[in-house]
Chain A
Amino acid sequence: MLRRFFSQAWLYFKGQQAIFSFEEFICFQTAIPLLTLIFYCVLASYSFNTANLTRWVVGNSFLLCVNTCIFSLGTTFTGERYYGRLRSIIAAPVHKLAVVLQRGFFPMLVSVATVLIGFLAGSLIFGVDFTGINLGLFLLITFIAMFAAAGFGLLLSIFGLVTDGIHFVLNLSTYVLMIFCGANFPIAQLPKAAQFISRIIPLTRSIEAANMLFEGVHMPELIRLVLGEALLGTANYLIGFLVIRVVERIAIQRATVDVF
């Protein structure tokens, strides 16, 4: 059971990346996200007129996961339909939660690596001192953030079962994360209603927790943030699973698994 889970997860991940050579994979997963991080940090240094870019390096490092967690995972079902596998997946006597989790596993690991590389490179470029922080806690926060972001990506991927505009949905969701997660400006600047959105999307709590490592740890608050993020991630997976069941039933009844 466990072996099948990992072999399926690896096969799916390999299939998604097969088109890229190693250099292109590195370019897509590291170079472009890093340039994005540099862009937002330079913009922050100009707009906030500051040389201390710690908050932006941390926040935008976490946002680097969108390439994998949102775009790669978000196109899961659209891709399956395109390659003609969707019918087999729906009809297979396998638990759909396992199918959903398989797709999230390796992208989550890649995202963790991307975030750490982004954080290290961003720290070197913009002179962020991370020697004083608890690296174990930082790694834990990163893992939980990526777990939650991967869950969000999978939840979004379900839109691919009902619309041909999945890229619209994914791009818009990426901007929602960029605006509302507090990576580029304090969420306190937003109106109260908009701050509610910040609370129901992934990364907000993780970014707040990671920033806390630099500004002084208040343990009960840190635990609250990390647990909140973990709960949000779990909720995303569960909602994703339930919505798949509903969409699946409708698609089977209408015989429209392969069409929108």
Chain B
Amino acid sequence: MKKLRVIWDTLKLQMKNSFVRPMFRFCLIANPIVNTVLIYEMFKNSGQENFTTYVILGAGLMGLWACICFSSAGDINRERYSGTLSLIFATPADFSTIIFGKILGNTILSLATLALSFLTAKILYNAPFQIASPGYLLLSLLATVVCFITISTVIAYLLTLSRKTQLYMNCIEIPIILACGFVFPVEILPAWVRPISYALSPTWAIKLMRMSIAGINNPAQYFTTFGILAGLTAIYVLLSSLLYQVIDRQVRIKATLEVS
């Protein structure tokens, strides 16, 4: 109960803190709008029937991922810059709980990018967009949120040890968008890239969402994809827990949290 309260309070504070930053507002509001315009114009004459799925999902998820890169990943550095990193690390409320609250707050707020992407496509282009399996889409969306929370946690922990966060958060944005096939199927990537794509959980989350929008004719295929995503997410959770233990130990031995 106490942990839930810490998570709830951190989540609320994080949402307020994130929203006042102009860069976060760019990722949250402007990024999905301009990406929708750019991707829609690229797909407009493609002749593909279901291209709005790629446009809306792609632009929305690119915005969501940008929010994660420039907020969840960068929050550690912001805490360090503000001189509060050591305080939240040593607090009895537990560092991992606070980080979880922050990432949860950011991810929930960042879901607005999907809605904005949809609205942009609808208002500017009157793009047709129909969800064939809304129930499955809701389940997929939930799985996507959990997937992005776990991957953000791994990245946030990794960046705790570095003070070049700004460089790294710029470096992780495009490779993930490219490898996970946010705006095209990963099957068009070269064969040697695909194992990397399949090892990244967002690839499967995006597949689930696309399948739900197109309509689930084969539930077994959907639940196989869901199972793979659940398995990868479990591995990420385990990895983040191990990382936390290593980082916690290193930080206490070296006492260099603020200067890393």
Q: Which residues of A contact B (CB under 8 A)?
A: 19-20, 24, 27-28, 31-32, 35-36, 38-39, 42-49, 164-165, 167-168, 171-172, 175-176, 178-179, 184-185, 189-190
- Segment at the interface with A among B171-179, B199-207, B223-231: B171-179
Assembly CA distance A27 to B174 (angstroms): 13
- A178 lies within 8 A of B189 (CB): no
Cβ < 8 Å to A, chain B residues 196-232: none
User: B24-62, CB under 8 A of A: which get 1 and which 0?
Assistant: 011000110011011101111111100100100000000
Those 8 A-B pairs whose CB atoms lie nearest each other, nearest first: A165-B22, A175-B34, A168-B22, A46-B184, A39-B178, A167-B23, A47-B42, A168-B26
Assembly CA distance A59 to B34 (angstroms): 18
- A43 lies within 8 A of B26 (CB): no
Contacts of A43 in B (CB 8 A): 39, 42, 183-184
B contact residues, range: 20 to 34
- B22 lies within 8 A of A164 (CB): yes
Q: Whole-angstrom distance from the CB of A218 to the nearest CB of chain B?
A: 25
**27 pairs of residues in contact across A and B, judged by CB atoms under 8 Å:** A19-B164, A19-B167, A28-B171, A39-B177, A39-B178, A42-B184, A42-B189, A43-B184, A46-B46, A47-B39, A47-B46, A47-B51, A47-B54, A49-B46, A164-B22, A165-B22, A168-B23, A168-B25, A171-B23, A175-B34, A175-B38, A176-B34, A178-B34, A184-B42, A185-B41, A185-B42, A189-B44
- B170 in the interface (beta carbon within 8 A): yes
- A24 lies within 8 A of B46 (CB): no
- A178 lies within 8 A of B22 (CB): no
| Complex: chain B residue closest to A184, CB-CB | B42
Assembly CA distance A32 to B174 (angstroms): 8
Assembly CA distance A172 to B26 (angstroms): 8
- B188 in the interface (beta carbon within 8 A): yes
- A32 lies within 8 A of B170 (CB): yes
Q: Which residues of B contact A (CB under 8 A)?
A: 22-23, 25-26, 30-31, 34-35, 37-39, 41-48, 51, 54, 164, 167, 170-171, 174-175, 177-178, 183-185, 188-189
Known interface pairs A47-B48, A165-B22, A165-B23; 12 further A-B residue pairs with C-beta atoms within 8 A, sorted by A's residue number: A43-B39, A46-B184, A47-B42, A47-B54, A49-B47, A168-B26, A171-B23, A171-B30, A175-B35, A175-B38, A176-B34, A179-B38
Assembly CA distance A175 to B26 (angstroms): 11
Contacts of B178 in A (CB 8 A): 35, 38-39, 42
| Complex: chain B residue closest to A174, CB-CB | B34
Assembly CA distance A67 to B38 (angstroms): 19
- A35 lies within 8 A of B44 (CB): no
Contacts of B25 in A (CB 8 A): 168
- B188 lies within 8 A of A46 (CB): yes
Majority secondary structure of chain A interface residues (helix, strand, loop or mixed)? helix
| Complex: chain B residue closest to A185, CB-CB | B41
Assembly CA distance A189 to B184 (angstroms): 22
| Complex: chain B residue closest to A24, CB-CB | B167
- A167 lies within 8 A of B38 (CB): no
Contacts of B51 in A (CB 8 A): 47
Q: Whole-angstrom distance from the CB of B57 to the nearest CB of chain A?
A: 14
Partner of A27, one of B42, B44, B171, B189: B171
Given A28-B167, A49-B46, check contact A167 B41 (CB 8 Å): no
Contacts of B37 in A (CB 8 A): 179
Given A42-B189, A179-B37, check contact A35 B175 (CB 8 Å): yes
Assembly CA distance A44 to B46 (angstroms): 10
Assembly CA distance A44 to B38 (angstroms): 11
| Complex: chain B residue closest to A172, CB-CB | B30
Assembly CA distance A179 to B36 (angstroms): 10
- A20 lies within 8 A of B41 (CB): no
Given A24-B167, A168-B26, A172-B26, check contact A179 B41 (CB 8 Å): yes
| Complex: chain B residue closest to A38, CB-CB | B178
Q: Whole-angstrom distance from the CB of A25 to the nearest CB of chain B?
A: 10
| Complex: chain A residue closest to B29, CB-CB | A168
| Complex: chain B residue closest to A31, CB-CB | B171
- B38 lies within 8 A of A32 (CB): no
| Complex: chain B residue closest to A39, CB-CB | B178
Contacts of A47 in B (CB 8 A): 39, 42-43, 46, 48, 51, 54, 184
Partner of A42, one of B39, B47, B170, B188: B188
